Every structure is written in C-alpha cells, then in structure tokens.
C-alpha cells in the first residue's frame, strides 16, 4: 500500500491534476474570504468554511477521476491483478494519496484564520471544530467519488459521474426540506453530507457525526474494493 500511495501522490504533482485542484480551490476560497470576512470585517470562520464546503462537491471529482480510469486507459490496472497486493491495499493507497492532497490544500487555507487573528478577533475553538467537520466532509466526498468511478473507463466519464452523484447528494437537503415529514425526507436527511457538517459549522463538536463520517468513508471504500474485485474476476 505504501508503494501505491507514493506513486499516486507523485502522480498528482507530475501531472496538472494536483496543481489544478489546489489552485482552483485556493482561488475560490480566497474569493469567499475576501467577499465575506474581509469585506464585512468578520472574524466568523465557520461561515467561510460553510461556503467553501461547496467546493468539495465541485472539485473532488478532479482528484478521483484519474485514480482508476487513468489506470484502465494505460492498461496498468492489470498489474494489480498479477501482483500479491490486495484490492483493499490498492484502494487504501489511492484514497490516502487523494486525502493528503486535500489536507495539504486545507492547510494552505490556514492563512485565512491567521489573518483574522492578526487584524481582528478569531474564535479559535469554533474555528478548529469547523475545520474538523470540513476535512471529514471532504474525505467523505473523496471516498464517495472513488466508489462511483471505480468502474469508469475514461477520466472524463469518471468526473461527470462523480459530479452528478455529488450534486444529487448535495441537493438531497433541498428535496428533504420540500418533502417535510415524509419518510423519504428522513432517509435523505440521514444521508446528507451537508447536514452532517452543519453542527461543525456552528462550532459544535458532534461525535455522532464524526462517527457517521468515518463509517461513510469506510463503507464507500468497501464498495470500491468490491467493484474492483468484481472486475478482477470478470464480473463487470
């Protein structure tokens, strides 16, 4: 798994993918920070992170589109099947590489609360809790998109499918609100990644939602492993 992690991490920065993800994320994040915190002279970082959470839906497909489709295009995926490495190790290495790129990008945004602390008042505890939820939400989208794109044959198709599923998950909030007390509304609300982030964005440390995020990631990675195993034995 270590070798796969290292190779995928290098792949992000030997191609434009890692730079595009980080560049676009930080550019849009800076716009949100400038238009919100600086223009309004606000030290509320939780509001900023709530707005920036939309970027996971938009940009996580960029991180995941090459992980499996790129291998199939180059026919290097057959190496997994001929090696003693398990599919769980393959998926784990790829997930950790994408997660590290995401974490490096998030670390770059620490300049925003630093500026707030220098020139205004930073609510540190609330900011740290919001960042925790923000990172967990990003990890969930990465795991989800990996599961969605595990069987894709092209990077463009992978990105489109991942974005489509992300959009459906994101819009589940609006649909559940429109359904009111209907049973389907409760189901959609349960699976909503946006609602799971809401307590963190309010500065509330929610262990239940932390557990949900970790279980969600594990479940999506398990689905990803099963899809790859099915391909390995010619079932898909």
Closest CA to 160 of 230, 72, 91, 64: 64
Confidence of residue 52 (pLDDT cuts 50, 70, 90): very high
Confidence of residue 70 (pLDDT cuts 50, 70, 90): confident
Flag whether the pTM goes above 0.95.
no
CB of 4 closer than 8 Å to CB of 94: yes
CB of 130 closer than 8 Å to CB of 200: yes
Confidence of residue 234 (pLDDT cuts 50, 70, 90): low
Is residue 86 helix, strand or coil? coil
Predicted local distance difference test score (pLDDT) of residue 179: 64
Q: What are the angstrom distances between the C-alpha of 103 and each of 25, 28, 91, 107, 118?
A: 12, 17, 18, 6, 23
Closest CA to 123 of 49, 194, 51: 49
User: Using one digit for the tens of pLDDT, what is the confidence trace for 123-177?
Assistant: 899 999 999 999 999 999 999 999 998 888 888 888 999 999 898 888 877 777 6
For residue 25, give every residue at least 6 positions away whose Cβ sits within 8 Å of its Cβ, in sequence order, or none: 55, 59, 105
The yes-or-no verdict on residue 197 having pLDDT over 70 is: yes
- Across residues 15-23, what is the average pLDDT? 94
Closest CA to 194 of 4, 52, 15, 33: 52
CB of 216 closer than 8 Å to CB of 143: yes
The separation between the first and the last C-alpha atoms of the chain, rounded to the nearest angstrom, is 24
Predicted local distance difference test score (pLDDT) of residue 153: 81
Predicted local distance difference test score (pLDDT) of residue 99: 97
The yes-or-no verdict on residue 220 having pLDDT over 90 is: yes
- Across residues 97-125, what is the average pLDDT? 93
Predicted local distance difference test score (pLDDT) of residue 225: 92
Confidence of residue 64 (pLDDT cuts 50, 70, 90): very high
Predicted local distance difference test score (pLDDT) of residue 103: 97
The residue with greater pLDDT, 108 or 82, is 108
- Across residues 5-13, what is the average pLDDT? 91
The yes-or-no verdict on residue 74 having pLDDT over 80 is: no
User: Using one digit for the tens of pLDDT, what is the confidence trace for 76-101?
Assistant: 666 666 677 788 999 999 999 999 99
The residue with greater pLDDT, 185 or 9, is 9
Q: What percent of the chain has pLDDT over 70?
A: 89
Predicted local distance difference test score (pLDDT) of residue 92: 94
Predicted local distance difference test score (pLDDT) of residue 80: 67
């Amino acid at each position: 798994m270590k070798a796969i992690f290292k190779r995928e991490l290098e792949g992000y920065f030997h191609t434009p993918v890692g730079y595009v993800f980080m560049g676009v994320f930080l550019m849009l994040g800076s716009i949100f920070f400038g238009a919100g915190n600086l223009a309004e002279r606000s030290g509320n970082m939780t509001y900023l992170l709530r707005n920036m959470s939309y970027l996971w839906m938009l940009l996580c497909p960029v991180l995941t589109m090459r992980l499996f489709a790129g291998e199939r295009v180059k026919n290097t995926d057959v190496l997994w099947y001929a090696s003693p490495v398990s599919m769980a190790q393959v998926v784990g290495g790829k997930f950790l590489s994408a997660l590290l790129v995401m974490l490096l990008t998030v670390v770059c945004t620490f300049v925003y609360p630093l500026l707030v602390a220098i020139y205004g008042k930073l609510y540190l505890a609330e900011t740290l809790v919001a960042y925790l939820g923000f990172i967990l939400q990003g990890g969930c989208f990465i795991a989800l998109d990996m599961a969605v794109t595990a069987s894709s044959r092209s990077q463009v198709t992978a990105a489109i499918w991942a974005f489509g599923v992300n959009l459906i998950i994101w819009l589940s909030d609006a649909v559940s609100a429109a359904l009111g007390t209907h049973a389907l509304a409760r189901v959609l609300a349960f699976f909503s990644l946006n609602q799971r982030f809401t307590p963190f964005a309010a500065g509330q440390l929610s262990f239940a939602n932390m557990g949900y995020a970790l279980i969600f990631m594990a479940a999506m990675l398990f689905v990803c492993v099963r899809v790859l195993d099915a391909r390995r034995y010619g079932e898909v």
